[in-house]
Amino acid sequence: MSDSDVSAVFTGGHEQVVFCQDEETGLKAIIAIHSTLLGPGLGGTRFFPYASEGEALADVLRLSRGMSYKNALAGLDLGGGKAVIIGDPNEIKTEALLRAYGRFVESLNGRYYTACDVGTYVQDMDVVARESRFVTGRSPESGGAGDSSVLTAYGVFQGMRASAEHLWGTPSLAGKRVGIAGVGKVGRYLIGHLIEDGASIVATDPYQGALEWLRTNYAQVEIVADTAELIASDIDVYAPCALGGALDDDTVAALTATVVCGAANNQLAHPGVEKLLEARGILYAPDYLVNSGGVIQVADEIHGFDFERAKRRASGIFDTTKKIYALASEEGVPPSVAADRLAERRMRDVGRLRGVYLP
């Protein structure tokens, strides 16, 4: 790891970064706590075969910072944290490794709460929780919140309704055509909400199993070959629900939709894309706001999971999306910049109160 890798920890404003190793099980993990201004850092554990430790460090620093913003904007009393386990989960994931990891999470004594992310599942969190109290996203059988894509999709739908109201005056997608890229866990629930609301849908997914699921469950959904065909087709809303970086210069230039609102993380491929979207008159619902239903769902588990309470909180994504559009117009900035500002204000204003000593 180079000096610049290490200095990234300090220049990124992170509070604490912990390297964890257990040679017997092959565990190599990094836990990054970006901010605890609003409360303990919450963010998932990504299990991924990083090419180098430097790459893993860069990812965990970026992701943990993102969680500070997401949790702040979601109105949670939680800061930002994230963890990465280095290695191919299909090859090295064992009960012993996950439990070794759980002991490191426990060692932070509640400064960091973990959850699922790419490469980790509710069953894995059940195992981690055998060694630590600071685990969310466990299975319902273990008292957990279960699959977070339920409220993630619900939150995306709320963001879409708010975008529809902003643009078309009615908080409904009835009669609109929505293009969904990625018919996975979130995409499937999202389709259910949209169909119920009266929208028509065109979708794409390279995975045959996803298309079969569509044909069986929603035969009325039009299927197209790939994302290029999807974005060029006549759609009102584009919902990226697959991978990050969905919005690059070429995609923005080709889009027929006037709203982009989807579940994928880090949709803007590079800084500046938000301005291209604005210049083309495309309303962009900030990804980390509209996909925060998942973190709201797992955060609820900390106090004993109650689905209805978590759903009520996720409904707030509707109002926050509208607030961000209003702030964006007021301050003359794209919605993604307005979202960052709102999150930073909450971290500053509420975080400042923590300086008031309570005996």
Ligand X SMILES: NC(=O)c1ccc[n+]([C@@H]2O[C@H](COP(=O)([O-])OP(=O)(O)OC[C@H]3O[C@@H](n4cnc5c(N)ncnc54)[C@H](O)[C@@H]3O)[C@@H](O)[C@H]2O)c1
Find the helix or strand (DSSP H, E) in which 45 lies: strand 45-48
Determine, following the binding rule CB under 6 A, whether residue 181 of this chain makes contact with ligand X: yes
Q: Please select the residue that binds ligand X; options are 241, 277, 285, 343, rule is CB under 6 A.
A: 241
Determine, following the binding rule CB under 6 A, whether residue 202 of this chain makes contact with ligand X: no
Torsion angle of C-alpha atoms 268, 246, 65, 138, degrees rounded to 10: 150
User: Are the CB atoms for 315 and 158 separated by under 8 Å?
Assistant: yes
Determine, following the binding rule CB under 6 A, whether residue 265 of this chain makes contact with ligand X: yes
CA nearest neighbour of 39 among 8, 3, 19, 68: 68
Rg (CA), the chain: 20
Shorter beta-carbon distance to ligand X: residue 35 or 292: 292
What residues from 289 to 348 belong to the interface with ligand X (CB under 6 A)?
A: 291, 294
Determine, following the binding rule CB under 6 A, whether residue 135 of this chain makes contact with ligand X: no
Determine, following the binding rule CB under 6 A, whether residue 205 of this chain makes contact with ligand X: yes
* Count, residues near ligand X per rule CB under 6 A: 25
The region that residue 218 occupies, defined by phi over 0 for left and psi between -120 and 50 for alpha, beta otherwise, is beta
The piece of 21-29, 231-239, 261-269, 331-339 that touches ligand X (CB under 6 A) is 261-269
What is the pairing mode between strands 41-42 and 112-113?
parallel
Determine, following the binding rule CB under 6 A, whether residue 74 of this chain makes contact with ligand X: no
CA nearest neighbour of 40 among 163, 128, 133: 133
CA nearest neighbour of 123 among 135, 134, 139: 139
Question: Does the annotation count 82 as an active-site position?
Answer: yes
The piece of 33-41, 57-65, 238-246, 350-358 that touches ligand X (CB under 6 A) is 238-246
The piece of 21-29, 53-61, 239-247, 336-344 that touches ligand X (CB under 6 A) is 239-247
Find the helix or strand (DSSP H, E) in which 177 lies: strand 177-181
The least distance separating ligand X from the CB of residue 183, rounded to whole angstroms, comes to 5
Q: Please select the residue that binds ligand X; options are 207, 229, 279, 312, rule is CB under 6 A.
A: 207
What the block records as the tokens of 10 is 């300090």
What the block records as the tokens of 222 is 């039009």
Shorter beta-carbon distance to ligand X: residue 46 or 99: 46
Residues serving a catalytic function are 82
Residues that bind ligand X (CB under 6 A): 148-149, 152, 181-187, 204-207, 210, 227, 241-244, 263-265, 291, 294
